[in-house]
Amino acid sequence: MLKFPYGLSNFENLITEGYYYVDRTDKIPLLENAGEQLLFLRPRRFGKSLLLSMLENYYDLAKADQFEKWFGHLKIGQNPTPKHNQYFVMKWDFSKVDPQGSVSEIKQALYDHLNSRIADCAQRYASWFTQEVKISANPSSSFDSLLSAISLVSRRLYLLIDEYDNFANEVLMSSQQPRQAHYETLLMGEGALKTVFKWVKAASAGQGLDKVFITGVSPVVLSDLTSGYNVAENIYLLREFNDLCGFREEEVKVILQQLVQECQLPETQVEEALSLMRSFYNGYSFTRDGTSLVYNPTLALYFFKRWQSDCQAPEELLDDNLAIDRNRLRYLSQLPAGRALIEQVAADSQPLLMNRLNSRFGLMEMLNPSPDQATLASLMYYLGILTLAGRGELNELQLRIPNLVIRQLYVERLYEMCWPAATESSSPAVAAKAFYTQGHLQPLCEWLEQRFKVFDNRDYRYSDELSVKMAFLLTLFNDRLYIMDSEACLDRRYADLSLIVRPDLRQLPIYDHLLEFKFVRIGKKENLTGEQVKEMSREELQALPVVQEKLAQARTQLAVYRQSLLALYGAKLRLQTHAVVAVGFERLVWERQEF
């Protein structure tokens, strides 16, 4: 029976206790050739700590006698590099630095962590040293003492820094005030964190530090360090390291096949489960061409463990360990121009294109009253709430939401912003249930009509249908029941909104739905006023020639999309199509077809 290392980042324990391991040790020679000081960025919960733990055990000279046991059966064990088990290894983990409190308290927490790690390194390698390592109150002196001891022997130091930006990002994104002043004090001028990286830079210039490998989420902190540490080589967009962390689909499929066999289920369950995981967990690309996709490993392991336990997919596909990213999205929505970008991305109305992915931007760029869209979009990419999706017509980079668990975070945040009071009401849930189970739009439309004032007179960059679609998307999104897609591509046409029942839940009494939205402007041209529209009955509105024209257009489009969906899903589809016409932002008219 497979053992899944969900939440486990200790390579030694993973190997010795027989956990499942996706072998990436064949990347070690590539890493050695990439440079001496490397920066590798990935979103949270993407396996960076396990990667560092693997490197730590591979290079640690104190663990040479364990090499065959831990690496002999892995790819690198068949052809190890000459540098294996040749280094003193020290690891700093900045996720363990408490970001709370005053600047002096944060600085002390950082210094305490560094001193602890230096002391641990000195103790582990004491038998190799001919000179005592002295630990003082200032970790700079402790670090110098360690390097002095190293300089007297033939070995050199390999420094691993995990989550280099974690505690600084926590300070920046927390509600603690004045957070900007805290951040600047730590990184600007002679700030504590900037000083630490100056030590590292100096130590690598012939003082005994041979290699540095740094992981983090974004380059923001490194950009603000400026000359404090400008020697790292960025490898996070190189094609050969796209899957350094993350699972490939063929690896996911092999595991699903074993799990389905263990549960004695039909083989058809493999493709069903794979389809579900592909929609919710796949879609991340860390190369500029956007062609090579990987699964979030934490989410994949979460799915595997739940399936192994229950022989079925988990009901909640968003793991709570990823739900913390809500805070990141909330922070971004509060930045200048952040909300508009989040709305644009969530609606999928037009591709998000940019000339380049910013790799050097700091705090000031993010807080600029008129921030560059590329800066915000780049930060969203680094946080994992956007991913690379290929190229535009003029070779621009295209970005998109990677999968449905991330889309859920967008929807939740936009819902909070648009209808904060509605989060305590049961009305939208009741209206949505009536739609899922019976296709009834009246309760939902009546509820939305009362809240359209949120969208009225807004400066939308695209069509008014976008505003209407966004309202339905926010209210109907439910990943516990549906695979929901905005602007789904169906035979090179784009359907406004589709709700396809999750493959593992087709036994439930709910329908598949396809919605097409149209908008009728109120004004002199249509000889309509807002007050007139509000007073008209639904039947009178529907009889208006302009509304009939819009309904006919939607009907034609839905007929085409329906054929595409039937060809894709076959007889299992229980499809209802819905044409919805908004008359201004006052009223909604709709019609339904059931097949």
Residue 146, pLDDT above cutoff 80: yes
- Cα 82 to Cα 148: distance, rounded to the nearest angstrom: 25
**Residue predicted with more confidence, 367 or 295:** 295
Give the pLDDT score at 43: 93
Per the CB < 8 A criterion, the answer to whether 245 and 255 are in contact is no
Assign 211 a pLDDT band (cuts: 50, 70, 90).
Answer: very high
User: pTM for the full model?
Assistant: 0.89
Cβ within 8 Å of residue 164, ≥6 positions away: 94, 214, 215, 216, 221, 222
Answer positive or negative: Cα dihedral of 568, 571, 572, 576.
Answer: positive
Assign 459 a pLDDT band (cuts: 50, 70, 90).
Answer: very low
Q: What is the dihedral of CA 115, 119, 121, 127, to 10 degrees?
A: 160
Note whether 133 and 253 are same-domain residues.
no
Domain assignment present for 348 = no
Residue 454, pLDDT above cutoff 70: no
Domain end (from 221, 241, 261)? 241
Assign 460 a pLDDT band (cuts: 50, 70, 90).
Answer: very low
Give the pLDDT score at 422: 62
Domain assignment present for 52 = yes
Give the pLDDT score at 373: 82
Note whether 272 and 211 are same-domain residues.
no
516-533 CB burial, b ≥16 within 10 A, e <16: bbbbbebeeebebeeeeb
Note whether 89 and 44 are same-domain residues.
yes
The CATH number of the domain where 124 resides is what? 3.40.50
Domain assignment present for 54 = yes
pLDDT for 54-106, tens place per residue? 999 999 999 999 999 999 999 999 999 999 999 999 999 999 998 888 888 88
Residue 5, pLDDT above cutoff 80: yes
User: Mean pLDDT throughout 140-168?
Assistant: 94
Give the pLDDT score at 327: 75
Tokens of 182: 């805290």
Give the pLDDT score at 568: 85
Q: Helix 249-262 crosses helix 268-281 at what angle (to 10 degrees)?
A: 140
Domain assignment present for 595 = yes
Note whether 164 and 274 are same-domain residues.
no
Lowest pLDDT segment from 161-170, 195-204, 244-253, 379-388: 161-170
DSSP, collapsed to helix, strand or coil, labels residue 211 as: strand
Domain end (from 293, 323, 353)? 323
Domain assignment present for 202 = yes
Lowest pLDDT segment from 154-163, 403-412, 464-473: 464-473
Note whether 193 and 281 are same-domain residues.
no
Domains contained in the chain, number: 3
Domain assignment present for 382 = no
Give the pLDDT score at 487: 66
Per the CB < 8 A criterion, the answer to whether 88 and 125 are in contact is yes
Residue 537, pLDDT above cutoff 80: yes
Tokens of 261: 């066999």
Chain centroid, CA 297 distance in Å: 12
**What single-letter amino acid sits at 492?**
R
Residue 458, pLDDT above cutoff 90: no
User: Mean pLDDT throughout 293-303?
Assistant: 95
pLDDT for 350-394, tens place per residue? 789 999 888 887 777 776 666 678 888 998 999 999 999 999 889
Residue 272, pLDDT above cutoff 80: yes
- Cα 285 to Cα 225: distance, rounded to the nearest angstrom: 27
pLDDT for 310-345, tens place per residue? 999 998 888 877 666 677 788 888 877 788 888 888
Other CB atoms within 10 Å distance of the CB of residue 477: 23
Lowest pLDDT segment from 54-68, 427-441, 452-466: 452-466
Note whether 188 and 255 are same-domain residues.
no
Domain assignment present for 410 = no
pLDDT for 259-268, tens place per residue? 999 999 999 9
CA distances from 451 to 154, 172, 447, 569 (A): 72, 34, 7, 35
Residue 203, pLDDT above cutoff 60: yes
pLDDT for 504-536, tens place per residue? 999 999 999 999 999 988 876 667 777 888 888
Token look-up 């509820």 returns 447
User: Mean pLDDT throughout 32-42?
Assistant: 96
Phi, psi for 393 (deg, rounded to 5): -60, -35
> How large a percentage of the chain has pLDDT more than 90?
59
Per the CB < 8 A criterion, the answer to whether 139 and 114 are in contact is yes
Note whether 180 and 79 are same-domain residues.
yes
- Cα 273 to Cα 555: distance, rounded to the nearest angstrom: 33
> How large a percentage of the chain has pLDDT more than 70?
92
Note whether 183 and 125 are same-domain residues.
yes
Give the pLDDT score at 461: 41
pLDDT for 475-506, tens place per residue? 999 989 999 887 666 655 678 899 999 999 99
Other CB atoms within 10 Å distance of the CB of residue 343: 22
Domain end (from 291, 323, 355)? 323
Note whether 269 and 224 are same-domain residues.
no
Residue 195's domain comprises 11-241
Other CB atoms within 10 Å distance of the CB of residue 197: 23
Note whether 151 and 118 are same-domain residues.
yes
Give the pLDDT score at 223: 82
Note whether 199 and 304 are same-domain residues.
no
| 102 CB-side CA count, 13 A | 2
| Sheet of 493-501, strands arranged across | 482-490, 493-501, 512-520, 575-583, 587-594
Chain centroid, CA 461 distance in Å: 25
Note whether 231 and 262 are same-domain residues.
no
Q: What string of DSSP letters covers 238-250?
A: -GGGTTSSSB-HH
Answer positive or negative: Cα dihedral of 141, 146, 148, 151.
Answer: negative
Q: Nearest-CA neighbor of 147 among 129, 161, 164?
A: 129
Domain assignment present for 386 = no
Averaged pLDDT of the chain: 88
Give the pLDDT score at 470: 86
DSSP 295: B
Lowest pLDDT segment from 150-154, 175-179, 575-579: 175-179
